[in-house]
Every structure is written in C-alpha cells, then in structure tokens.
Structure 1
Amino acid sequence: MSIDPSTGLVSGWEVRHSRTRNLPYYFHPATSNSSWEPPAGTDSDLLKQYMATNYSQKNTAVPNTAPGTGNGSGQKIRVSHLLIKHRDSRRPSSWKDANIERTKEEARAILEGHQAKIKAGETTIGDLAVSESDCSSARKRGDLGFFGKGEMQAEFEQASFALENGQVSDIVETASGLHLIERTG
C-alpha cells in the first residue's frame, strides 16, 4: 500500500467535493467506494496540509453552491465545537457515555475548565474535542463543516455567525448541551 505524496491518501483514493453537502469526501474510482472519513492507512499530516491548501477558505464565507440550503444569502461558515452534555440535554447520551447523569452546572464547570486551558494557549478545541466532546464530531476534531443560516439551532447559529475567523466563543447553551465554538472558515 503506497501513499500519494501530494494528498496523503492511500494510492487510488482521491478527494472530491459533494455538491449536495458542500463538503469534501474521499472516492476510489476503481471500486466506486466513497467515504466521508479518510481511508485506512492515510497519512493524516499530509492530508491536513492538502486540505488546508485546497479546501480552507481565507475569507470568512464561501459561496452557497448547494441549492435550497441556507437563508438565501449564500453565506456559509465553518466551525468546530466542543459539546458537553448534561442530564437535561435533549439526548443525554453520547459516543462515550450511554447515560449522561451530570447536572448542567457540572457540565458548565467542565467546559469552563476546558475554556481556561484554551485561553491559556495550552490546548485547542480540536485537540480537546477528540476525547472530551459529547458530539460525534469528536472523531473529526469537532469540525461540523460548512453551514448556512437556518441549518443549526438558533443559539448555536447566532453565536457562530457572530465570531470572526479563528475566534472562540464564550459558553453557548442549546437544547443539545453546552458548547465552545471556534469559527474556522
């Protein structure tokens, strides 16, 4: 199994762009296999460099190319987040805990601890999300991809669109739980 030095992907795989979701995905033309996740054996450091060069936006918005999405303004942004759920969340379970029993106050204290580490420059939302987030996006370092207005919970959307690229929000409360949000594009 060889690695493509330009993408970091296992030979035969390529990055394509979904017009429906406005997100990159991985495709193997010879087998017609496709996946939202990089194929096994991928060199993640090379892939990150390739994706940063070819799929990161230098401005704060990208055109809305998916028909019927967003609010018609065409603006889409990208964020990563760290979600801490509590027993009153709309679904008090996660990939790492089938039954979340913590109170909202306990969840806030956990998130405040993470927030302090981020502000001190000790870690990032992406680094923490992998092991600490109660969202399934943890496997993607908290990355939720691009979205437009009207596609997320109102509180989450409002906080996300208010951020500058690279800025991290204060704690945001939604029906899903408590979030720290970083605008990444």
Structure 2
Amino acid sequence: KRKKSRRSDEGPLPAGWEKRMSRSKGRVYFFNLFTGTTQWEKPMESAERPKNQDVAEVQCMHLLVKHEGSRRPASWRSDKITRSKEDARNILEGYAKDINEQSTIEEKRMKFKALAKEYSDCSSASKGGDLGFFNRKTMQPAFTKASFGLDVDEMSEICDTDSGLHLIWRLA
C-alpha cells in the first residue's frame, strides 16, 4: 500500500459535481449531477449540462436581505427587521461588489457562501445559503425565474420576492 502525501479528494469541487462514498469499496467517488455518471478521480473542471436540455431542477445558494415590507420581517438574526427596501438593496449591492471583486469563479463562489453564512436573513445561512435542489414549483415565481435563468456558477442580479431581496448563485 502506498501513502499519499496529500488527499487528492479534499478541497472544493468544481460546479456540478458531488462527492460520495462507495459503500462496497469504502472509498470516495465523484458524481456528475447532470449526467449521473461517476468517476474515482477528482474532477478538475465543472460538469457540463447537456445541451438543449431543459433541466427539471437546479441547485442554488442565496443571500436574503429582508426589509420592513417583507412578508415576515424577522429572521434568525433579528426578531424585528426595520430596514427599508432601499437599505436592503444597498446592502446587497455592496455584497455583489465584494463578490465580483474576487478573481476566479471559485473565489467568487466561496465569497458568496461566506457572506450568506454570516449575513443572510434565511435559515439556509447555516449551510452557506445552499437551498439544495429544487424544481420550478418550489420557490416564488420571481426566484424561480432568476434561478432557472442562470448558468452554473453565475450570480443573479438582485431578485425581489415577498420574502425580501436576494442574490442567487446557481451551483448546479
């Protein structure tokens, strides 16, 4: 048996891939979320969505900033949210600027996740804003339109829903 000096399966994965554990082999493998194919080697590039396929589900993370006009102006961060919608928009514009100042897609994705974890008014903040996979009927219409309109590793413009204002990052 040879020992590896570093684990090749550690660190963040490119978009569209998921790390899984083989029960029969007792080792990590990688699952392509778009094609359903698997491989033992850690992927180096994002999984490509098959062309001309209207996906049934997407995976996104989001950063929600609620305001006094939100349908429930409270969150895990604050019992009562009193900021104006304009203030919420200014806050999100600042986050978007911070994200876009990063050099690489991976750095931008990590910055988005860190900001969502610290500042999002959604309980998904505990997961870096990750909402998991959802279909077209799960979320509010504006959120769905924005999410399904993104490419993988693309960030939305500010999206306005009854819940508040969002930045959305499509993961898969």
Fold in common (TM above 0.5): yes
- Residue 73 of structure 2, aligned match among 81, 85, 92: 92
1:60 Cα deviation (Å)?
4.2
Give the alignment of 1:52-131 within 5 angstroms. Answer: 52-54=18-20, 57=33, 58-60=47-49, 75-121=56-102, 124-131=111-118
User: What SS is found at the alignment partner of 2:155?
Assistant: coil
The size of the alignment, in residue pairs, is 129
User: What SS is found at the alignment partner of 1:169?
Assistant: coil
Ranges in structure 2 where 5+ consecutive residues have no aligned partner: 1-8, 21-30, 34-46
Describe the shift of the 1:88–1:56 C-alpha distance in structure 2 as closer, same or farther (beyond 3 A).
farther
C-alpha separation between the residues in 1 aligned to 2:49 and 2:156? Answer: 16
Give the alignment of 1:7-46 within 5 angstroms. Answer: none
C-alpha separation between the residues in 2 aligned to 1:182 and 1:106? Answer: 21
Instruction: Provide, for residues 36-64 of structure 1, a one-character-per-residue CA deviation record: whole Å limited to 9, x for no partner.
Output: xxxxxxxxx96966x83235623448xxx
C-alpha separation between the residues in 2 aligned to 1:118 and 1:87? Answer: 25
1:151 Cα deviation (Å)?
1.0
Runs of 4+ in 1 over 3 A off after TM superposition: 45-49
TM-score, structure 1 length as denominator? 0.64
1:150 Cα deviation (Å)?
1.1
C-alpha separation between the residues in 1 aligned to 2:130 and 2:86? Answer: 25
Does residue 170 of structure 2 align to residue 183 of structure 1? yes
1:93 Cα deviation (Å)?
0.2
Percent identity over the alignment is 43
TM-score, structure 2 length as denominator? 0.68
Describe the shift of the 1:56–1:109 C-alpha distance in structure 2 as closer, same or farther (beyond 3 A).
farther
Describe the shift of the 1:96–1:172 C-alpha distance in structure 2 as closer, same or farther (beyond 3 A).
same
User: What SS is found at the alignment partner of 1:181?
Assistant: strand
Letter in 1 for 2:83: R
- Residue 152 of structure 1, aligned match among 130, 139, 163: 139
Pairwise CA RMSD: 2.3
Does residue 127 of structure 2 align to residue 161 of structure 1? no
Describe the shift of the 1:60–1:140 C-alpha distance in structure 2 as closer, same or farther (beyond 3 A).
farther
